[in-house]
Structures are given as C-alpha cells and as structure tokens.
Amino acid sequence: MILVSGGAGFIGSNFVVDWLAHGNESVINLDKLTYAGNLQNLHSLNGDSRHIFVHGDIGDTTQVAALLKQYRPRAVLHFAAESHVDRSILGPAAFVETNVNGTFNLLEAVRCYWSALPDAERLAFRFLHVSTDEVYGTLGPDDAPFAETTPYAPNSPYSATKAASDHLVRAYHHTYGLPTLTTNCSNNYGPCHFPEKLIPLVIANARAGKALPIYGDGQQVRDWLYVGDHCAAIRRVLEQGAIGETYNVGGWNEMTNLSVVHELCDILDRLDPRQDGASYRIQIVYVADRPGHDRRYAIDARKIERELGWKPVETFESGIAKTVQWYLDHQDWVQNIQSGAYLSWVQQNYAQRAITEPTL
C-alpha cells in the first residue's frame, strides 16, 4: 500500500480517487482537515476498504511513525501543504509551520522508517514530493519556460516555503540516501477545487450574481494543468521516475487570467445563462493587484515526456468544460464549502482591494 499526506485536499483527493480507480493497491490517507481538507471530496470511496482515512498531522512524528510501522507502505506521496498565495501574504506563519516544519518532520519519520526496512523493501521504497512551479519565480513575456534546472527565485511566502520544502527533500536524498522524487506542477484546475482559487471562485461568484474580481490588469499568464492529467503524471513518476530526480509537470496551456475568466463566462453563458440574458462578463471588475504578483509562469514539460512517456491528455478547452459542468452538477458541494470561515476570508482578502474599472 501507499501513504498519501493531504489526501482530502484538492489535488490529493483527486489523486486518491484516481489511484483506486486504476488499481487495487490500498491508500492510507493522512489529512489534518484544515479549511481546504474536505472529506466530501472522498465520498465516492465510502465503504471502500482500500481507503484508510486517518485524521492527523504530518508534523506529528509520533503519529506518522506509528502509521508507518502499522501499515508498512511501499511509498509516501506528500501532497499536504498550505497552498494559496493570498493566504500566505495575510498569514505566513501557517505556511512556514506546514510547508517547512511539517515537511521536515515527515521526512524525519520516513527516514527512520525507511532505514529500518529489510534490504529489498528499502530498495523499492519511494518518497514522492508534490511541489509547484512558483518556486522558480516569474518569467518575462519572451523568457523560456521553467525547466528542472531553472534557479529558484520564490517571490511570495507560499512559494518560499515550498522552495524550502523542495530543498529539504533534495537534502534528505543527497545526505541520507532517501529515495526521493519531486514534481513541480503548473496551475491545476478541476473538480473539488477550493473556491478561493481563480477558476472555482469565478464559477461560484458568477452564479451568485457577485463581482468577478480580476487582479491588476488581468494579464498575468499561467500554464493550466487539468488535475486528472496531473494525477496520471504522478502515478507515472512514482512508477518509473529516477531516484533523486525532479520532473516538471505542465499542461502546455499558457493563458492570461483575464482570458480564463472570459472563457468561464462564455461557457456559463451557454450552460447556465443569466436570467436577464446578459453575459456573465458584465460582472467582471478589476481590483488592486496582489503584492509581488508574479507576471508569468510557464512549464517546460519535455523531460517527463521524453523520459517517462507522459504528456497531458486534456486541452484547456476540454478540461475547463468538464470543470464547469462538474461545479454545475455539484452545487451541494459548493454550498457546503462556502462556510462562514470561507466567507470571512473572502471579505478580508478583497475588502481593501478597491474596484478600479469594470470591463466587458
């Protein structure tokens, strides 16, 4: 079996469901169930004996050590992280605690477990660390996309703490010989995405008749990766990745934030039109930009395709259509997510971002 940290979050829960759909190997799912961890993401696994959920903290080395001893997983996949830039600006301490200290404590527990395994199990063991392209910093409009050799230059508390976690994983491989793998992905989207992020926020706000806030001029460029493609890439890296290597995982879909919002509005206009017949684009507003907002991310995903044979299946057009339809079909999930705590955060984040200009 495998152990997954953060398996009730967006990417982690998609991975757990996807993993069990592709095979019968059991999953120990360790999640702290903070605001972004949601057991409803895993409802399809209710009653499935292959899924063992454990409410716990990667920072609790005693608990992690006990789980490793009890279940003896052949691999640990580390998804657990604080992951939202805006939250890291408002409260960086939680990001240091989870992304840096939590990763360190998890690595320590795993190192002790791995060191004591019999030779064959120790050779077969893997620790796969899931990270982000944001550790590389920002790109100019004509710069080459991020490669695995791009120097780290994080610009937010979030990306700085993820960079620190990447360095710890690398150090545990080179110092202790822990068989690690690292993936750095571009912006994910898809089902079960917490609605503080751009795509689910726009879908939820549009249908609720609320403003669709665009930071700055909306020309920030991101490479968009459908979460199902990301899950397939992680499975492939776990299966065939070279120990100690890093693999960039991207969707080959560079788009400006404003273009993404326009596409979402156009899809909603077709699938769930406003009662007055107007386009959802009339709800778009520009707000003050995020401090230190990176201008462009882009992933060069040729290494993982060349060495492991993975490339994304979904285009942005196909993936975003699936995503919007999922949210329309799962309004109960959206309503349950939008709790008082979530609404308080939205108010805190956007209250001081003055609207500068509406747009069509």
Annotated catalytic residue, options 86, 133, 166, 223: 133
Give the pair of three-digit tokens for residue 8: 């009730």
What whole-number distance in Å separates Cα of residue 279 and Cα of residue 122?
A: 58
Which option is the CATH number for 2-190+225-252+297-314: 1.10.287.70, 3.40.220.10, 3.90.600.10, 3.40.50.720? 3.40.50.720
pTM for the model: 0.92
Average pLDDT on 55-80 reads 97
Give the residue from 86, 83, 80, 98 showing the smallest Cα distance to 30: 80
Q: Residues 11, 13, 15, 17: is their CA dihedral positive or negative?
A: negative
Residues 81-125: tens digit of each pLDDT: 998 788 889 899 999 999 999 999 999 999 999 999 999 999 999
Q: pLDDT value at position 197?
A: 86
3-state secondary structure of 171: helix
Residues 283-293: tens digit of each pLDDT: 999 999 888 88
Annotated catalytic residue, options 57, 82, 134, 166: 134
Q: Taking 70 as the threshold, does the pLDDT of residue 357 lie above it?
A: no
Task: Tell me the domain boundaries of the chain.
Answer: 2-190+225-252+297-314
Annotated catalytic residue, options 57, 82, 86, 158: 158
Give the pair of three-digit tokens for residue 109: 């527990």
329 flagged as catalytic = no
Q: Residues 293, 296, 302, 308: is their CA dihedral positive or negative?
A: positive
133 flagged as catalytic = yes
25 flagged as catalytic = no
